[in-house]
Amino acid sequence: MRAAWAWVAAALLPGCAALPSPEDFAAVRPLDRSATTAFRLEGRLAIRQGENRHHVRVSWQHEADADVMLIASPLGQGIAELTRDRRGAHLLTSDRRSFEAPDLDTLSEEVFGFRMPLAGLPRWLLADLPPTAVDRFGRPLAARAGDWLIAYLDYESESAGALPLLMEFRRGDLEIRLKVDSWDLSP
């Protein structure tokens, strides 16, 4: 029996050695992300405004003409589904309340009372905006978009093409931190 397990392990180990590492994925990421129109990410958001703090999980499928964003509690219970397509933006909450607007930014203003930069956020997440500071690999460390300050705190590897894993967005007393658990540029 031990010989059989040893044979199975020996047969499987070379396959394990061939699995790509996160650095391998980052090495083939495009340096120019201006043509990137689709991605999928899984991550966690921490939102702080004054004394109010919220933590949620996010699953986002972004395409040039559509978005589907699922928001869940830290334990995975569904909170809301945010969608965008050519007809406009729509938010459906877990208690079946529904909100609609012509675009994501207007929808955020109607629902949250302030305009969130949801339309421009895909470019921010891809670090595809003019930086105000760069690291030794030429990747953005900081940027500005309107009155938002953006900080790129961690990347998936040291590759110049690596995608950001930890970002912080600040405007006034509003601070949003996004920790990306996984990226897929070919959804």
Nearest to 101 by CA among 114, 116, 91: 91
| Distance of alpha carbon 152 from alpha carbon 124, whole angstroms | 10
Q: Which CATH number fits domain 20-184: 1.10.287.3510, 2.50.20.10, 1.10.3720.10, 3.40.50.2000?
A: 2.50.20.10
Give the predicted TM-score (pTM) of the model.
Answer: 0.81
Model confidence pLDDT, tens digit, residues 107-127: 988 887 777 778 889 999 999
pLDDT of amino acid 187: 53
Give the gyration radius of the chain's Cα atoms: 20
| Distance of alpha carbon 123 from alpha carbon 155, whole angstroms | 16
Model confidence pLDDT, tens digit, residues 125-161: 999 999 999 999 999 999 999 999 999 999 999 999 9
Strand order, beta sheet including 131-134:
98-101, 88-93, 78-85, 66-72, 52-63, 39-49, 174-184, 164-171, 148-155, 140-145, 131-134
